[in-house]
Amino acid sequence: MFGNGKHARGSQITGWGYFVPPRVLTNEELARQVETTDQWIQERTGIRERRIAGPTESTLTMGVQAARRALIKADLSPSKIDHLIVATATPEQPIPSTACMIQDEIGATKAAAFDVAAGCTGFIYALTIGNALIGSGDCGNVLVIGAETLSRIVDWTDRSSCVLFADGAGAVVLQATDSGTGLISSVLGADGFGRNYLEVSAGGSRLPASHETVDGKLHYVRMNGREIFRFAVDKICKSVRQVVLKAGLTPKDIALIIPHQANRRIIEASARALKIKEEKFFVNIDRYGNTSSASIPIALSEAVEAGKVKRGDYLVLVGFGAGLTWGAVLLRWGESPTVSALETYWDKLKTSPFFREIRHAKRRLDRVKLGDWFDRP
Ligand code: ACO
């Protein structure tokens, strides 16, 4: 029963996981493709290398891998998921949603599924929606995924953007709790005035794909780096302050801040402006670059796995991105589930392609049976 105890019904992260493609693209390799240097990229962005999806990898395949890992960690059967939310700016295809595809792949047969488009803030938006769904009392288990294949929308001849973006996926399982741990406060914001600062202008209803849009490179991401930089530092600072205040805490209470990984200098400038030690900001941009909606769940998973997050710690996740959008979530880390090896094995099996084939075969059989019924005289 939730909501009957000392604390109101809330949600906490009980599972986490990430996947990045094995292919590493170093700055040196990039410097052979465009006019740049390893030194420039490291000094101006903090990136040393990034992961790039191979021909058989995509937002769907990476999202599935991250989801499986998070479900195993939470020891939760996919059939128990009530809502599956995917934050992405690079969906598998325009229709249907990537969330529906992941739902089918992992066997989340009872889950409502939808995508959230909020640029690089997508994961923070999706987490906030998931928390609200659980808080409403209608459901208990939400799977939130951030997955991106930005390498497919990057202009590999544009040195100001191709050095930044990369591919990967991260996921968390949110479950109902009345323990007082979990998500405590959040802030979300948007300012469409800056919608042209970061955009892919073609491929939608205004400019559908045509020879002209392809020739004009309008399916690639275009960005005003300097404007985004200024906006990012401002919004990180304001969002962190607001979310901490809303929770009735002070910045000193925060054990770790996990920011969207867009540029190391953005994180450093934010730390200075907030007067919070840089060590309190988790950074892994050096190895993964900017993976948009995936960057915060990847960083969170790495931070937990590295033992940087302890039970009872207050964490802030903060993001910003295309839209322009921004947002932050403050949470108190709860108990980690203990999972037996046998349970892990069984959960792994249930999300596997083998089980998906069995489910599909059963659905085909059901369809035939239904067809027989309709054909009866
Ligand atoms: N290698 C070498 N030189 C470069 C490169 C490169 N890869 N890219 C740009 N330059 C040059 C520019 O041409 C410019 O040369 P010029 O002075 O002769 O004109 C010079 O470097 C300085 O350019 P700036 O744009 O001022 O460089 P800046 O220090 O601002 O760094 C950067 C550029 C890295 C893009 C930075 O502005 C930034 O990180 N902005 C934020 C971008 C961002 O976070 N985007 C995504 C956020 S939302 C989301 O994640 C989807």
Number of compact structural domains in the chain:
1
Atom of ligand 1 nearest to the CA of 292: 50
> Bridge-partner residues for 290, per DSSP?
165
Nearest CA, atom 7, ligand 1: 159
**What is residue 252's predicted lDDT score, i.e. its pLDDT?**
93
Q: How many residues does the chain have?
A: 377
Q: Does residue 3 fall inside a structural domain? A: no
Q: Does residue 325 fall inside a structural domain? A: yes
Q: Does residue 46 fall inside a structural domain? A: yes
Residue 36 in contact with ligand 1 by CB distance below 6 A: yes
**What is residue 341's predicted lDDT score, i.e. its pLDDT?**
54
Provide the pairing of β-strand 10-19 with 167-177: antiparallel
Assess whether pLDDT exceeds 50 at residue 317: yes
Q: Does residue 252 fall inside a structural domain? A: yes
Please tell me the distance from the alpha carbon of residue 102 to that of residue 61, in angstroms, as a whole number: 8
- Could you report the per-residue pLDDT of 323-359, keeping only the tens digit for each? 999 999 999 999 655 455 555 566 666 677 777 777 7
Residues with a known catalytic role: 120, 260, 290
**Which residue range(s) make up the domain with 172?**
10-332
Which carries the bigger pLDDT value, residue 332 or residue 6?
A: 332
- What is the distance of C-alpha 204 from the center of its chain? 23
- Could you report the per-residue pLDDT of 332-341, keeping only the tens digit for each? 999 655 455 5
Q: Does residue 2 fall inside a structural domain? A: no
**What is residue 5's predicted lDDT score, i.e. its pLDDT?**
42
Q: Does residue 79 fall inside a structural domain? A: yes
How would residue 162 be classed by pLDDT, with cut points 50, 70 and 90?
very high
**What is residue 348's predicted lDDT score, i.e. its pLDDT?**
62
Please tell me the distance from the alpha carbon of residue 145 to that of residue 170, in angstroms, as a whole number: 6
Which carries the bigger pLDDT value, residue 138 or residue 221?
A: 221
Q: Taken in order 343, 348, 354, 359, is the CA torsion positive or negative?
A: positive
Average pLDDT over residues 311-325: 97
Is residue 127 a contact partner of residue 145, using CB atoms and an 8 Å limit?
Answer: no
- Could you report the per-residue pLDDT of 223-279, keeping only the tens digit for each? 999 999 999 999 999 999 999 999 999 999 999 999 999 999 999 999 999 999 999
Atom of ligand 1 nearest to the CA of 321: 48
Out of 227, 229, 268, 296, mutate this one to test ligand 1's pocket (max ligand atoms within 8 Å of CB): namely 229
Average pLDDT over residues 168-188: 94
Which carries the bigger pLDDT value, residue 130 or residue 376?
A: 130
**pLDDT over 70, % of the chain:** 90
Average pLDDT over residues 53-72: 97
Is residue 242 classed exposed, middle or buried when 0-12, 13-18 and 19+ CB atoms within 10 A define those classes?
middle
Q: Does residue 361 fall inside a structural domain? A: no
**What is residue 109's predicted lDDT score, i.e. its pLDDT?**
93
Q: Does residue 97 fall inside a structural domain? A: yes
Tell me, what CATH number does 68's domain have?
3.40.47.10
Residue with tokens 């491929």: 203
User: Which residue, 279, 301, 30, is CA-closest to 151?
Assistant: 30
Nearest CA, atom 10, ligand 1: 160
